[in-house]
Amino acid sequence: MADLLKRGLAEEGHQVFIANDGVDGYEMARSADFDVIVLDVMLPGMDGLAIAQKLREARNQTPVLMLTARDTAANIVAGLDAGADDYLTKPFSFEVFLARLRAVSRRGAIPRPVCLEVADLKLDPSTRRVTRAGKAVSLTPREFSLLELLMRNHGRVIARDTILESVWGFDTDVAENTIEAFVRLLRLKVDASEPKLIHTVRGIGYVIRES
């Protein structure tokens, strides 16, 4: 596929460089300036998610188009949260690929906020560090994913189904009271002080906001 895409892009006037494993791809991306990076998720040595995350941690803001056969909501959220600007699932047409490539390259290297903040609650996706009023908050991976989802949608109500798909994935059999239990645990850690930030919207889901 890499060779086919390189041939098609060259015919469109692009200069293309290929790395056949994740480690070489990361070194290439960090050592040269590119207009856009196309990343497959499944790569030997280092996967595409890890490459995107490491580039963003190093403040490399080159636009990234992620390619993968994984098309669940949880997979797409993981790709975007790792630092991808767009996410294209296989199989895809070359015309759609070109259109997506043009779209992300037009955006340029746009700086992204390093931390998510709501009131005195801070979450750093790159270091996975959470603090409330300057004090560290220890979260499990699932609690962290849930809090990150809420904070990325600050002020917007997230339905229980969306939480289930984004945090647990489509194929996981999770009861609704499991989500409620995780929200309760998250509140004990995050909302131990005022103002309370995590709110229940009865019959719909949850939202994080200042009262």
Give the total residue count for the chain: 211
Indicate whether 172 pLDDT > 60: no
CATH number of 116-208: 1.10.10.10
Cβ burial, residue 109 (10 Å; 0-12/13-18/19+): middle
CA distances to 35, 40, 98, 112 from 102, rounded to whole Å, are 10, 18, 6, 20
| pTM, 2 dp | 0.50
Indicate whether 201 pLDDT > 90: yes
CB 41 within 8 A of CB 11: no
- In this structure, of 104-108, 128-132, 184-188, the range with the lowest mean pLDDT score is 104-108
Q: Sketch the domain layout of the chain as residue ranges.
A: 2-107, 116-208
CA distances to 21, 43, 48, 153, 196 from 25, rounded to whole Å, are 6, 9, 9, 32, 44
Residue range 94-99: average pLDDT?
Answer: 88
Query: CATH top-level class for 2-107?
Result: alpha beta
Please state whether beta strands 64-68 and 37-40 pair in parallel, antiparallel, or not at all (unpaired): parallel
CB 85 within 8 A of CB 113: no
